[in-house]
Chains A and B, each alone.
Chain A
């Protein structure tokens, strides 16, 4: 390990250090109010390091900066995801301030745990080696289990314990898959795995000779499927979403999902490229995509609790994003190769902005009305016109309607799928987004068309305003002018292809 490795890891190191710092400061400072402010300001450091790394890549004309004995790499792909993750963390911390004030105890730990988990996620975006992937994944999951149980009432505890146990099961499954892949190829480095597999194909003449390796890959898909809450590994999501503190729900649905897709893209594009495998995992992702969209949307229709509804909605969105992974078979030709992964990255960025905008409003409103029932959102349009407008536009964006960025995200992703001959999947996707309008608009309907239970205006503090403002501004800006985000996503996806 060299100094250069430290530099490559600097965003993660500074993020973890910030978490540790918060706990230390908490010991000496009486006014806990400065903790979130310190956390948000401190996030400038990892952001600055990430920007510096990005400019190194641009300056030296190198696309990859490998480090830590090739266990990780800094490239446009990982940095793009780090930007998305950092932005999400900022919004989640801002949105947590009021909430945390009410818990009184363990305030610093709350923020530190978020930062530790985010550290794991950022590592996930960079890792290129199975064991590092596993460790990062655990670092991501364990703090979330603690955070989910943070409220310490029965629902919250249940959510935390459920997440912990199911996450352990899925890790076990994943680890088992990794072991099989290792046993088959004799290496844990992703690039070397691909190399081994291709050589086997050449020597033995049977493409992808053993079912054992196939089984390993299926287990890996199952392990990752848990992280992104894809069918049939989605069952934990609604329970945990409902039980967790709402900011943590937002964190789970945005950051955790982003990291999950990051590692899936990395593993499958680097270790199991399609041209060396006769196994079309694109088709598998297509089926999972169709199932996730359909099940998520249909069950969401009947939900009465908005957090649970958003839980199923996240499952549905995992389905949409999986479409981008399914759209892999065009890899042969140069320009179109990056369409699938860039669609995934673009969607992740857009989804992060939109979903955070929606969640911040839900946090702000639910803090006041003390309920997560959709029926209790009655009259929010009159009690908080701005919040209601933001939530309405976010819901439209989640459906895939302009002017939010969700519109372009869906268009681009559906376009990528069409280009790879997945017309049937796109039809399912379009039908699903129409169906989803039903339950998203139900919230809008409740806000505007039902009589409010009280006429008290819903007020909220400055950090909350900032959280809503930032996420909503991003949703609207990229909705009206998607080019910058799209270009970033394309550059990032390019790093994965080459």
Chain B
């Protein structure tokens, strides 16, 4: 594939963004239908090119070398941009553009008549472009630029309905928390800056990713350096992928339009963290500490998020917690060295999670609310949505033979086989998460689609304004087709992309082998572990147990959820208050510690001490008959005094230092 075509994947959505915001919106108005078609065309073309990229990467044994282009250089600092096309990039491109395309088509129906229609599509184009730029980048700084652009795009989209205070607050929260985490990424970049000399000695550029891979090959990077850089990168990834304890922004981010949630939580922003760890996997590989941290954080996140999903009544929040939990899964997989399995799970998850989110969008479209307590019985009104939602839920729960089963199973098998204590521990965590996942998904399914209808937006006192109130019935075709299309990979892609036997067209374990064909990966033992029948059966039984429990509680109601809730009252409150993390961050850390103390102290100093001094000296000045008496304060003297004292301190410090 020629380099220009690869750049085109990035530039098409960018062109769409510019066209919409510079030409279409000012000339044709903010509700122009054209914006949607332009975006779909651009993303669609990017999708086709991404498929071409995937095939040509396969054809060239997993690596296409593109030259670097000097953007600017300063002294020894050289910023060279380029495309890194390896199996990881190729797979990610297909996921991002494929899911984005479906979401854009779906949005034509969902966003119809919104007064920010063009702004919506402009932001979507920008966001897709940022994600593609991140995936394609072959330079750490390039990654950082697009990483921040992804953050900006999510800020614009989560706060899309900015006249709603909760949406505005959610956008801000997402931005600040991920920004905070980006700090780690920035420190990792600075660390490489510090150690740049050793790179340059070997004629390598410390920011070019392929050069970092080389440096690892040559043994230039010591385990200590790798550890700190990897942990810094992981900190950034934790923010974007909403890993514990930086997960709090993601459920709130549900305030954005539902297709945005589908895009953010299936294919783009949150997978960016997993992608980043995978991108620098060779660095993580050589540091056992970093690997264990990734595995443990992933494992904790997997059950932590799932546990909050157990009690949430908002269908989108359930899906959000599910996403956090599944991302924890992927991190866990990376941490135990299951590189291929993690990306494979990212791949399958993108399809069924996008399907589920879009399904919840249809549900919202019909009922005008997201609160499952006011839904029920929707199966009658929207059979297609129900069918696809069921497929998504089964796939997510990991039921044989749907896509989710294969990828989840590979992760479990890896953790099981790893043989060290951390591996064993995260295997247990993963297994608990399997149970919880099956339970909350089917709890949501039963509450939403089965039983009797409970009134929708008209019964829900907190129903949001968007969604146009209650009109029960199936959604328009443009909002159904994307679901039907996504349902196909949600069922099949798990087996087809990574089959257990040779399918003729697709060789055995094709995807894992393909991902592992990356020459930068060394220490990976094998592509995929043996398929462990008893383990698969066991995990399936665990998932089925979860479904059964949900069935008994929410379908046949043998066990009353209210009674269970009362029995475990403290636990229930803890879960539904999200472990009090919001309170911890906002009330204690931000409000009391930072704003209340540190900033306040300085301001107090400025106001009280400086002003008090000013008044004191002003009093002096007034009594001395200063000519400036008319100028209300005596602050001038303070300033003069401060200059004098400053001079004396500097002089004294110099004398002291020189001895």
A residues whose Cβ falls under 8 Å from a Cβ of B = 158, 161-162, 165-166, 169-170, 173, 211, 214-215, 218-219, 221-222, 225-226, 231-233, 235-236, 239, 278-279, 283-284, 287, 295, 298-299, 301-302, 335-336, 338-339, 342, 381, 401-402, 411-412, 414-415, 418-419, 423, 426-427, 430, 434, 437, 441, 445, 448-449, 481-483, 486, 490
Counting from the closest, the 3 A-B pairs by CB-CB distance are A232-B646, A302-B603, A483-B72
Contact B647 A335 (CB under 8 A): no
Tell me if B373 counts as interface (CB < 8 A to partner A). Answer: no
- Contact partners of B71 in chain A: CB under 8 A: 481, 483
Tell me if B640 counts as interface (CB < 8 A to partner A). Answer: yes
Q: Given contacts A226-B643, A232-B643, is CB(A158)–CB(B631) below 8 Å?
A: yes
Contact A279 B658 (CB under 8 A): yes
- Contact partners of A448 in chain B: CB under 8 A: 159, 162, 168
- Contact partners of A482 in chain B: CB under 8 A: 72
Contact A222 B602 (CB under 8 A): no
Contact of A222 among B75, B159, B643, B654 (CB under 8 A): B643
Q: Given contacts A233-B643, A335-B76, A434-B179, is CB(A161)–CB(B631) below 8 Å?
A: yes
Complex Cα distance, B141 from A225, in Å, reads 34
Complex Cα distance, B636 from A367, in Å, reads 30
Complex Cα distance, B651 from A173, in Å, reads 13
Contact A214 B606 (CB under 8 A): no
**In the complex, which range does the number of interface residues on chain B fall in?**
35 or more
Closest residue of chain B to A421, judged by CB?
A: B194
Contact B145 A402 (CB under 8 A): yes
Complex Cα distance, B493 from A267, in Å, reads 69
Within 8 A of A (CB), among B610-659: 610, 628, 631-632, 635-636, 638-640, 642-643, 645-647, 649-651, 653-655, 657-658
Contact A298 B148 (CB under 8 A): no
Contact B77 A415 (CB under 8 A): yes
- Contact partners of A218 in chain B: CB under 8 A: 647, 650-651, 654
Interface of A is mostly: helix
Complex Cα distance, B412 from A237, in Å, reads 62
Closest residue of chain A to B650, judged by CB?
A: A218
- Contact partners of A401 in chain B: CB under 8 A: 148
Complex Cα distance, B637 from A236, in Å, reads 11
Complex Cα distance, B197 from A336, in Å, reads 13
Q: Given contacts A161-B631, A423-B194, is CB(A402)–CB(B149) below 8 Å?
A: yes
Complex Cα distance, B652 from A284, in Å, reads 12
Contact B602 A295 (CB under 8 A): yes
Contact A222 B647 (CB under 8 A): yes
Complex Cα distance, B634 from A239, in Å, reads 13
Q: Given contacts A298-B602, A449-B168, is CB(A222)–CB(B650) below 8 Å?
A: yes
Closest residue of chain B to A487, judged by CB?
A: B72
Closest residue of chain A to B632, judged by CB?
A: A158
Output the least CB separation between A194 and chain B (Å).
19
Closest residue of chain B to A278, judged by CB?
A: B658
- Contact partners of B649 in chain A: CB under 8 A: 232
Contact of B193 among A302, A335, A418, A490 (CB under 8 A): A418
- Contact partners of B646 in chain A: CB under 8 A: 222, 225, 231-233
Q: Given contacts A430-B190, A437-B179, is CB(A335)–CB(B148) below 8 Å?
A: no
Tell me if B568 counts as interface (CB < 8 A to partner A). Answer: no
Contact of B75 among A233, A335, A427 (CB under 8 A): A335
Complex Cα distance, B63 from A471, in Å, reads 43
Contact A236 B639 (CB under 8 A): yes
Contact A434 B603 (CB under 8 A): no
Complex Cα distance, B635 from A329, in Å, reads 38
Tell me if B519 counts as interface (CB < 8 A to partner A). Answer: no
Contact B603 A342 (CB under 8 A): no
Complex Cα distance, B259 from A392, in Å, reads 26
Within 8 A of A (CB), among B184-208: 186-187, 190, 193-194
Complex Cα distance, B119 from A448, in Å, reads 14
Closest residue of chain B to A330, judged by CB?
A: B75
- Contact partners of A165 in chain B: CB under 8 A: 628, 636
Output the least CB separation between A132 and chain B (Å).
24
Closest residue of chain A to B649, judged by CB?
A: A232
Q: Pull 20 A–B residue pairs with CB atoms less than 8 Å apart, ordered by A.
A: A166-B639, A214-B655, A214-B658, A218-B647, A222-B646, A222-B650, A232-B642, A232-B645, A232-B646, A279-B658, A283-B657, A287-B653, A295-B602, A402-B145, A415-B74, A418-B193, A418-B194, A430-B186, A449-B168, A486-B74
Q: Given contacts A302-B603, A336-B75, A483-B71, is CB(A279)–CB(B654) below 8 Å?
A: yes
Q: Given contacts A222-B650, A233-B646, A236-B639, is CB(A299)–CB(B603) below 8 Å?
A: yes
Contact B639 A298 (CB under 8 A): no
Output the least CB separation between A284 and chain B (Å).
7
Closest residue of chain A to B640, judged by CB?
A: A169
- Contact partners of A302 in chain B: CB under 8 A: 599-600, 602-603
A-facing mask of B135-167, CB < 8 A → 1, else 0?
A: 000000100010011000000000100100100
